[in-house]
Structure 1
Amino acid sequence: MAVTADPHLSQEETLMYAHASPAWTGSGLSFTGLGHYYPRTVVRHHDGIEVAGRTYHQEEIDELGVHSLHRAEEDETVEFMAARAATAALGKAGREPGEIDLLVLANWTDRQWIPELAPAVAASIGAAEALAFDVCGACTGFVHAVQIASAMLTADPSARRAVVVAADRFTRRARIGTRGQLVFGDAAGAVVLEKGDPETGGLRDSILACDASEADTVAARDGWLRPKPELIDLAVRSSLSVAERLLERNQLKVSDIQWLVPHPGNNAIHTGVRDGLDLPGEKFVTNFADRGNTGCASIPIALSEYTESGRLRPGDLVLSTAVGSGWYYGGLLYQL
């Protein structure tokens, strides 16, 4: 793949970035367990569904692209969902909670002053002595948390493994009467990130960048999500920028990856990213139609769900991209 013009970087910066070394190749870091949690209540969209006095018919539902989603009940807090996803990931990794050195929780929908939510999650799963803290980054939160956990595990020789959890109750950020009520869902996803043999595959590279000039493209200053009309174009450009930079830096072509598992925004963004990468449709993997846009949880729940079903398999090379309020844009390149 040739180095292309990147709206976020100068030509000199683009060339320097393309020739930089991948962040995590040779680190021995890998995802050894995946887990997810979906709330009990499933909301199914059907022809003639009414939202705040407006009726949506099947063609509009098909255009939105979400046919069902999960809505958390009052007892299904972020901590509750995160703990269950983390426990599931630990089980898949064959690890006990006491073996965890670090727990990083990504969440943006239920932020509070103090205390942070991550320590409660760590205590709930039986890992009370793990260093636990929250990160945000909106829908890039999973990428943000994986990158921070990777850096901390690499910097500390005594630390061996981390649980990275992403949990959002996105339904609570949809303004009443808007289409967001038909798109935003609740969920939690988790991975166990471990140091192992440097010669094996695993986590290869990551990017997390910020363009503050676009910070208000999507915001929730009053609690309700407020996207601007230019969101779709910006999300597509940013996602393509991330994908191109990660592939270029790792000397790969789009055809070299088995799957693109992105943060799903909406059908228009999906189409723009697929077309921009010239990616075969069967390589584009989301559970958007059945789960909706679940914020920062969207990538790990898809990884967990589709690995469990057998669609994604050990050794597959995966690229994940995400964009979010900030304006943050980032991605991960890894083998399962």
Structure 2
Amino acid sequence: MAAQTSTTTAAGASLALPVAIPAVGCVAILLGILGGGAVSAPPAYGCAGGGAAQTVAGLRLDAEQMGNAATITSVAASLRLPAYASTVALATAYQESRLINSTAQSDHDSEGLFQQRVSIYTAAVASNPVRATTAFLTRLVQVPGWQAIPLTTAAAAVQRPREDLRDAYAQWEPLAQQLTALLWPTAAATTAGAPVSVACPPDRPLAGPSADNVAGTTTVPSGLVITGTAKGRAAVRFALAQLGKPYVFGAAGPDAYDCSGLTTAAWASVGVALPHWTVSQSQAGTPVGIGNAVGGDLVFIPGSDGTAQAPGHVGMVVGYVARADGPHLYLLQAPMTGVPVELTEVSQWSGQIVTVRHIA
């Protein structure tokens, strides 16, 4: 581990820090797909792929439907998920929208390919094919045994339809299988080497038996000592400059973040690429004990939708404040919809931490 030093801040100090994120490896692509700005178009497909009307499994799909099918397959491939994830997503999208990306709200406030509730996912996610697919796959991979249980069971676990519609996805499995067989080779080849980039679940408070995980402050506390390596301290300073910015599912800056988007952007600012997926980040770097954690280290808890093996929430250690009863360790997090980026005492996560990772 590199040598570590520390920096002390004044109460409520305004840190004049750069906000530009350098393009490191695939980070620029990743932020384009999931960030708050323009969304990157999916890869172009040739005559055997999406974008041209075709008959698949006896059904005539027009150019729009084939293009959306190609997008779904491309996103699944870019996340390094197995081809079966594309099959589940395609069957689900065909049942929900016939692969038509409609922004006309139906069934309360549902929109888009997966008919996702705007009140849960936001319109920016539900109506955007790339973000909507990413949101669906984020939840799919957290369904226990999703690759082994029937496709319709896995789809229903994510979509939560009426009880009489839970088996409706099964009828489109042959179509989805053939679409995947048609589109996957091009999608996988086009996105080879792309990082995993699934974001954190957005819609419920973090689970925890012993503390208030979203309690925090958007002001730097007096006497905060920023610890860590040179890169770690720089990543922390970038993260501190984001205090108070809103949580948006799938966002990785510069105007909003989700939990893994914030840690991805902070480390990208110092030239270290991390996947935009909490589970993958929990396997990055080297493990350390929370008692030895320093600025820039990542702390993981299950959150509302995760497990100890696949944690659903991440925060970044920033340093400590010395008090009469000893040092109080702080982390920075993007907690959930409605709660901005904030500083939280690590003690609030007591009893829930499943791993801590030192990145650089």
Normalised by the length of structure 2, the TM-score is 0.25
Which is strand-richer, 1 or 2? Answer: 1
Greater length-normalized contact order (CA 8 Å, ≥ 6 residues apart): 1
TM-score w.r.t. the length of structure 1 is 0.26
Look at both structures and tell me which one has the larger radius of gyration over its CA atoms: 2
